[in-house]
Amino acid sequence: MFTGVLETFCLLPVSVLAQNDLAPVKVSVTDMQGKPRSGEKILFIDSLSRKTFSGISDARGEFRLKLPAGAIYLIHIQTIGEDLEHSTFEIPKLKPGEYYDGESVVKIKFDPPREFVLDNVYFDTGKATLRAASYAELNELVEFMKLKPAVKIEIGGHTDDVGDDASNLKLSQQRADAVKNYLAGKGIARDRVVAVGYGETQPVASNDTPEGRQQNRRTEVKILSD
């Protein structure tokens, strides 16, 4: 489960002769216990124009950027699949001849989820062949792994209960292997990825309905170490 808080400290503008409407912002990213989180990509999305600014936290959990004044920004944390919506941050509009003297400080604290379902990973029916529609989400996973070189993950393959147990177990392992092979082909070291097929043993919904069976046919990512 995702949990998080936001703290902001905004410095007041100071009048000067020249106008500069860019506000320097220092971003600090930690877990809920205050430990710095490196390799976190944070997005600042203008709530009106939808223009996006971003940065990636360093080993100290920090980065700096400049944001145009006079906007409310939606803060998202980029992760696998959908971004985590964190909070909002407003930079007041400046008057003529004013600029920001010093930095605004944004402190983001959050504990990311340890498990993800890859909702947009698809295979040919009854096979372990990845469809091209899967590549976008798998490429997000590749980026995630490259931003966090210490992270090791498990790819879990799951099926519904249609067919016999042994065939489902074999198919789920082959599909997990296919995802691992895709990541390896994009430069992710094989020793960072464990592929496990669970077959039909871990359903998340009833297999009595088409909708339930669809939920059970899934590929999951579990963070093993970071």
Question: Following CA atoms 69, 97, 14, 11 in sequence, which dihedral angle do they give, to the nearest 10 degrees?
Answer: 0
What size, in residues, is the chain? 226
- The predicted structure's pLDDT at residue 100: 73
Domain ranges of the chain: 3-111, 115-225
User: Whole-model pTM?
Assistant: 0.81
Q: Which CATH superfamily is domain 3-111 in?
A: Carboxypeptidase-like, regulatory domain (2.60.40.1120)
Q: Tokens for 202?
A: 């871990």
Residues of the chain above pLDDT 90, percent? 71
For domain 115-225, the CATH architecture is 2-Layer Sandwich (3.30)
Contact between residue 36 and residue 60 where contact means Cβ atoms under 8 Å apart:
yes
pLDDT digits (tens, 9 = 90+) for 79-128: 887 778 888 989 888 877 777 777 889 999 999 888 999 989 999 888 99
- H or E segment to which residue 73 belongs: strand 71-77
Q: What is the pLDDT of residues 25-57, one digit of tens each?
A: 999 999 999 999 999 999 999 999 999 999 999
